[in-house]
């Protein structure tokens, strides 16, 4: 009885989150389609408005039209607002709906979010989320001020400089990937200060909500900081994030050593590798045209985008924890161990099963997307693999084929961005219609695998 | 105590099987490198002899030199012999080693192989395997006679016709994928009789050893055939095999309807689709040049080759059962069920875990192979994806880049053929050095997935 109620509520909460996304897309499409949002003489088709809306709500950043050439100042503020809703809003709103709708279900999430067990009441949680939202807004504001002030040297008017700084800060923190420079961060390819600030903001958004909360607790805890215990989730996701960024940068550097980096200075190669590695986590901004990279690097970046950001962050993909648990499970299986021990804790077998399900579904969705686009689009396969990985990881990097996609191709990419954003688990729970009731059991029989 | 002994023996048996493969490759390289094996004036480098040996032992069929133009009649017999050893020999030998070395371990395999529980003694099993080996040799002999006799009309001498028939029969039954026509089965693109015989032989090899035994028991059982119960394994793998062949054919047909099949008659499109779908299971022979297909079809065939043949068969890849269990696990997970029920049986949770491990490792090995080849080879990515999938699935189809591979590329493809043949599980057990002893436990902690 309790069990069936549990299920009905979880089902409803997932549906609610998805419903919220759909409403957000509808309203965004309407707002983005308003004539006031466009520059003079620019016509935006319904399809392109819809695509921009899905891209903004899912904070992906793939664009079929140039943001800089299409949208007016009010339009730019609308997009920034949608990014805010899509990135931070839905992230917390998802948690919120879960907490409000399913007090029972909150247990797991609560355990994750609440490392300070003294505050584990619903009101305490809402309070905490408000604090975090406040924190993120403050970070965005500081980012906007720092970047805007710095940009004063590049732009004629202070309005233009601060508009650029504001939009850049919002786009980076929400990992939105949109740009109003017209060429992403390429104008700042040699401005390491701008890249450093962007990296900080991108990581803030992509590292995951629970991690931010724990870091905040760690920093402002009333107890001694030395005794603060980070959760397994935070250790696992942060470690994976770090390893992916560093390993990604090293591989990009190695793959391009004799080609794109051949005539560059060491600090240029360092910052190009580092920024392009960080941005695959889900930022989507870039300091160069990825077409200048070699095919192996483009495939590597596709794999990194496929892995994506942390769970409960502004990013998509299979997520860092999923990937880490799959690798750990493989390693411990090969070693013949029956349990997975990491950071002095054991992983729950249900989480391991979930991770494998998510990874496998992701591989199937990803490869289906590639085959579908290969049917409808005339572009090289590498560009299609890159685009599909970028959409599923809600990263927003592109080899430039987005504006040229057919209507069918745009729909496929929109679906991928949507699935990438809500996550494979929510996607699976969506198709969970009536729960199979297990009234009977069958005998177990073993089969040969692999 | 018993548990640790169990592990030590399993480790040894896997190492023994791999050792046997390595010895087989060494001897084959020597035999294939003998001057008597080559046609007059042909020089074969060590690397090419090694590649041919690995390809033959793993019954893949990827070739860096044309078999028809390189090898003499004695050479052709050597290759047929190596295919026999590689295909049927190692398949049974693997089972044999398991049975002889680890009588305890035999339990699981015995359960699979021995559906007739009255015969579950070691001597009974050896007897049974001998029968099956005999059965396969008889099938090969019939295939050789039928094809050879039929080929009399195409060749000037009966020796030539029967040599062609013999080699074709061995290559098809072992799913070897080698050909001495010089153009695979393309000369028989409109000879549906030859294709039909080849399809039968290929399926015999690829459907799996346990299935053959059960079918034999079903046909020659002393009891009433109606009461014979097929194992879950046989039902699952045969159903998956069938679905993959039919679905593969339909998709190939649909993908090519407006291009390669546009000017063809319905029976031509039927046989082209059907044969090319069957051959991806691991046959590797083809009735056409796959370069004539469109990119989506080539990607689809890559996916089919990646899935591969049945476990305990002459084929490679992730194997049909693995793929089926991953799909079933995803479906039942989405439905919220805690157990997987199929054909009136429940799957064991260990088998589900194994299937996910195999699938995930396969995806990682496969994508690593593609990135590595994209670094070293100048060929289009689709041709590389096709080649890597073909090697891992030990299928042997190619878009023609094999002879042009760099030495590094040849080594990568050889490793993939080897891993594909021994299977991901054996590959993982190989790197299982010392077993992690689980003397302590940690508390379990949940994490957010996907
Ligand atoms: K993004
Ligand atoms: K083959």
pLDDT the model gives residue A382: 94
| CB-nearest partner of A330 from B237, B346, B361 | B361
B196 CA: distance to closest CA in chain A (Å): 28
Kindly state whether residue A240 falls inside one of the protein's structural domains.
yes
> Quick one: closest CA in B to A377, which residue?
B296
Which residues in chain B touch residue A339, judged by CB atoms under 8 angstroms apart? 438, 441
- In a mutational test of the A interface, the residue from B294, B319, B374, B448 whose CB has the highest number of chain A CBs within 10 Å is B448
B 80-109 near A (Cβ less than 8 A): 108
Q: How far apart are CA B268 and CA B293, in angstroms?
A: 15
When pLDDT is averaged across residues B365-393 and rounded to a whole number, the result is 94
**Burial degree of B231 (CB within 10 A; 0-12, 13-18, 19+):** buried
Tell if the CB–CB gap between B447 and A353 is shorter than 8 Å.
no
**Residue B313 to chain A, least CA–CA distance (Å):** 11
Closest CA to A294 of A375, A372, A212, A399: A399
A189 assigned to some structural domain: yes
Q: In this complex, is the C-beta atom of A318 within 8 Å of any C-beta atom belonging to chain B? A: yes
Which segments of A314-353 are extended strands (E)? 341-342, 345-347
CB contact under 8 A, B352 and A353: yes
Nearest by Cα to B192 from B108, B287, B279, B278: B287
pLDDT interval class at B126 (50, 70, 90): low
Q: What tens digit of pLDDT does each residue of B130-176 get? A: 777 787 888 899 999 999 899 888 888 888 889 889 999 999 988 88
Write out the residue range of the structural domain in which residue B404 sits.
2-431
- Chain B nearest CA to A89, separation (Å): 19
Give pLDDT, residue B176.
86
Ligand nearest to the CA of A87: 1
| Residue B345 with chain A: CB contacts under 8 Å | 442-445
What is the tens place of the pLDDT at every residue in B397-437?
999 899 999 999 999 999 999 999 888 887 887 776 544 45
* Cβ separation B336–A7 shorter than 8 A: yes
Minimum-distance ligand to the CA of A205? 1
Rounded to whole angstroms, how far apart are CA atoms B102 and B358? 23
**pLDDT-based confidence at A93, cuts 50/70/90?**
low
Pairing of strands B341-342, B345-347: antiparallel
Q: What is the pLDDT of residues B250-309, one digit of tens each?
A: 999 999 988 888 888 888 888 889 999 999 988 888 888 888 899 999 999 999 999 998
Q: How far is CA A139 from CA A146, A163, A172, A173, A212, in A?
A: 10, 16, 11, 8, 12
Residue A341 DSSP code: E
Long-range contacts, stretch B219-226, CB < 8 angstroms, 24+ apart? B221/B116
Q: Exposure pattern of A271-289 as b/e (b: 16+ CB <10 Å)?
A: bbbbbbbbbbbbbbbbbbe
The number of the ligand nearest the C-alpha atom of A179 reads 1
Which chain B residues contact residue A336 at CB under 8 A? 7, 432, 435-436
Segment among A10-24, A169-183, A278-292, A320-334 with least mean pLDDT: A10-24
Whether residue A70 is contained in a domain is answered as no
From chain A, pick out residues whose CB is under 8 angstroms from the CB of B352. 353
Q: What is the mean pLDDT of chain B?
A: 82
| Secondary structure E strands in B325-388 | 341-342, 345-347
Q: In which residue are the tokens 């875990």 written? A: B353
For ligand 2, the distance from its centroid to the CA atom of residue B306, given in whole angstroms, is 12
pLDDT digits (tens, 9 = 90+) for B211-240: 887 887 787 766 555 667 788 888 888 999
Instruction: Kindly identify the ligand whose nearest atom is closest to the C-alpha of B278.
Output: 2
Q: Check residues A263 and A210 and name the one with the higher pLDDT.
A: A263
Position B447 in a domain: no
Q: Nearest CA to B418 among B350, B383, B372, B369? A: B369
Spatial separation of the C-alpha atoms in residues B180 and B175, rounded to whole Å:
14
Write the CB contacts of A121 (distance below 8 Å, at least 6 apart in sequence).
none
Most confident of A178-187, A224-233, B135-144: B135-144
Structural domain includes residue B86: yes
**Pairwise CB contact (< 8 Å): A449 & B358:** yes
B23 touches chain A (CB under 8 A): no
Q: Decide if A223 touches B, using CB distance below 8 A.
A: no
For residue B138, CA distances in Å to A235, A255, A382, B219 come to 61, 53, 48, 16
Give the Å distance between the CA of B110 and the centre of ligand 2.
27
**Residue A26, in any domain of the structure:** no
Predicted ipTM > 0.85: yes
Share of chain B above pLDDT 90, in %: 33
Asked if residue A37 is part of any domain, the answer here is no
Q: Cβ B303–A450 below 8 Å, yes or no?
A: no
- Residue B367 near chain A (CB below 8 Å): yes
What does R_g of chain B's alpha carbons equal in angstroms? 22
Q: Please state the domain count of chain B.
A: 1
Residues in chain B with CB shorter than 8 Å from the CB of A346 are: 441-445
pLDDT at B46 over 50: yes
Q: Do B333 and A299 touch (CB under 8 A)?
A: no
The answer to whether the Cβ–Cβ distance between A335 and B435 falls below 8 Å is yes
Ordered alpha helix ranges (H), B152-294: 158-173, 192-206, 209-220, 232-256, 266-278
A188 contacts: CB under 8 Å, gap ≥ 6: A194, A195, A287
Residue A114 located in a structural domain: no
Interface size A-B, in CB pairs within 8 Å, comes to 239
Q: What is the DSSP letter of A435?
A: P
Query: How far apart are alpha carbons B74 and B95 in whole angstroms?
Result: 30
Q: CA dihedral defined by A408, A412, A417, A421, rounded to 10 degrees?
A: 130
């Amino acid at each position: 009885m309790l069990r069936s109620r549990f299920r009905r509520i979880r089902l409803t909460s997932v549906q609610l989150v998805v419903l919220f996304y759909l409403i957000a897309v509808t309203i965004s499409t309407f707002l983005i389609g308003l004539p006031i949002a466009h520059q003079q003489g620019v016509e935006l088709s319904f399809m392109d408005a819809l695509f921009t809306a899905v891209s903004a709500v899912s904070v992906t950043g793939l664009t079929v039209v140039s943001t800089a050439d299409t949208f007016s100042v009010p339009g730019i503020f609308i997009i920034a607002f949608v990014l805010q809703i899509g990135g931070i809003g839905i992230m917390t709103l998802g948690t919120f709906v879960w907490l409000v709708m399913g007090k029972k279900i909150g247990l797991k999430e609560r355990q994750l979010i609440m490392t300070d067990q003294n505050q584990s009441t619903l009101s305490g949680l809402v309070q905490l989320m408000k604090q975090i939202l406040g924190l993120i807004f403050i970070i965005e504001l500081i980012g906007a001020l720092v970047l805007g002030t710095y940009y004063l040297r590049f732009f004629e008017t202070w309005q233009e400089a601060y508009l650029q700084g504001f939009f850049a800060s919002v786009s980076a923190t929400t990992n939105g990937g949109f740009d109003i420079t017209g060429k992403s961060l390429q104008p700042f390819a040699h401005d390491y200060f701008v890249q450093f600030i962007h990296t900080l903001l991108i990581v803030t958004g992509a590292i995951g909500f629970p991690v931010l909360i724990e870091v905040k607790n760690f920093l402002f805890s009333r107890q001694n900081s030395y005794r603060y215990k980070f959760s397994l989730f935070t250790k696992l996701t942060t470690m994976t994030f770090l390893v992916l960024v560093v390993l990604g940068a090293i591989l990009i550097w190695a793959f391009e050593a004799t080609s794109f980096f051949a005539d560059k200075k060491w600090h240029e190669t360092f910052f190009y590798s580092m920024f392009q590695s960080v941005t695959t986590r889900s930022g989507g901004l870039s300091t160069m045209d990825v077409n200048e990279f070699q095919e192996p690097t483009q495939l590597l970046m596709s794999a990194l985008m496929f892995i994506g950001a942390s769970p409960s962050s502004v990013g998509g993909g299979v997520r860092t924890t999923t990937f880490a648990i799959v690798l750990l499970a493989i390693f411990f299986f090969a070693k013949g161990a029956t349990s997975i021990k990491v950071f002095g804790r054991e992983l729950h077998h249900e989480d391991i099963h979930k991770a494998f399900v998510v990874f496998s579904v992701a591989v199937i969705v990803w490869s289906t997307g590639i085959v579908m686009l290969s049917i409808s689009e005339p572009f090289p396969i590498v560009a299609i693999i890159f685009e599909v990985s970028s959409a599923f990881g809600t990263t927003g990097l592109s080899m430039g084929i987005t504006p040229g996609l057919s209507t069918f191709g745009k729909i496929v990419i929109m679906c991928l961005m949507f699935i990438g954003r809500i996550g494979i688990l929510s996607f699976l729970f969506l198709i969970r219609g009536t729960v199979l009731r297990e009234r009977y059991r069958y005998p177990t029989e073993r089969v040969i695998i692999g």
